[in-house]
Amino acid sequence: MLLCITHHLMRAINPASSWGKRLKTLMENDFPDLNHLDLNLEGMGVDHAWRERDW
């Protein structure tokens, strides 16, 4: 939820910002595998359809 709010604010402040695309790339490619610590994107509050959003 906080990532969506931040993305909304970034688009309002600077419509040309690539923050959302960079965030999506980070979450898809660089988010570490921390499942052994029960830490993952879902635990951060990221919903299942986050990839389909207009980042």
- Is the residue at 7 inside a domain? yes
pLDDT at 11: 93
Given a contact cutoff of 8 angstroms between Cβ atoms, the answer to whether 31 and 50 are in contact is no
What tens digit of pLDDT does each residue of 1-55 get?
Answer: 788 899 999 999 999 999 999 999 998 898 888 888 888 888 888 888 888 888 8
> 29 is in which domain, residue-wise?
2-11+21-48
Cα 40 vs. chain centroid, distance in angstroms? 12
In a domain, 55, yes or no: no
Number of folded domains that form the chain: 1
Q: Quick check: 42 and 34 in contact, CB under 8 A? A: no
Q: Which of 26, 25, 27, 7 is nearest to 17 (CA)?
A: 7
Positive or negative torsion for Cα 46, 52, 53, 55: positive
Question: Residue 21 CA to chain centroid, in angstroms?
Answer: 9
